[in-house]
Amino acid sequence: NAGVTQTPKFQVLKTGQSMTLQCAQDMNHEYMSWYRQDPGMGLRLIHYSVGAGITDQGEVPNGYNVSRSTTEDFPLRLLSAAPSQTSVYFCASSYLRQGNEQFFGPGTRLTVL
C-alpha cells in the first residue's frame, strides 16, 4: 500500500494563478480531508468528504474548491492564489468509524508570491 500520496511536494505560484493539489489513497477509506498548517495555528480544516460525490466545508474553505468523483482521489483547487494561501497543505484519509485514525500524506509546501 502506498497510503496517502500528495503531489507536488513543493510549488511556487504567482498571485492570481490557479492550480490543483492532488491527493490519492489506496486504502478504500470513505473519509478524506484537506488541512492547512500555519505557524502557531495548528491544523485547520479546509474541506472534507465522507464519500464519493459528497463534500463539505471545514473551518477555512474560502478560496478553495474540492470534488470527490472517486473513492481514491480528492483534489484541492486554488481558484486564484493569494499570498495568504502560502502554507503547508496536508491531505488525510480514514474509515468513517468511531476509533479509526486518520492517515496523513507527506504534505505540499505552497508559496504564493
Contacts to other proteins by CB under 8 A: 4, 31, 33, 35, 40-43, 45, 48, 50, 56, 58, 90, 92, 94, 96, 98-107
17 or 55: CB nearest other proteins = 55
27 or 43: CB nearest other proteins = 43
Closest approach, Cβ 80 to other proteins, in A, equals 27
Residues whose CB is less than 8 angstroms from the CB of residue 97 and which lie 6 or more positions away in sequence, other chains included: none
Cα 40 from Cα 62, distance rounded (Å): 20
Reply yes or no: is the peptide bond before residue 8 cis, omega within 30 of 0. Answer: yes
Sheet holding 19-25, edge to edge: 4-7, 19-25, 76-78, 64-66
CA neighbor of 91 nearest in space, from 52, 33, 47: 33
Closest approach, Cβ 97 to other proteins, in A, equals 8
17 or 102: CB nearest other proteins = 102
Closest approach, Cβ 95 to other proteins, in A, equals 11
Closest approach, Cβ 91 to other proteins, in A, equals 9
Query: Hey, is 83 helix, strand or coil?
Result: helix
5 or 17: CB nearest other proteins = 5
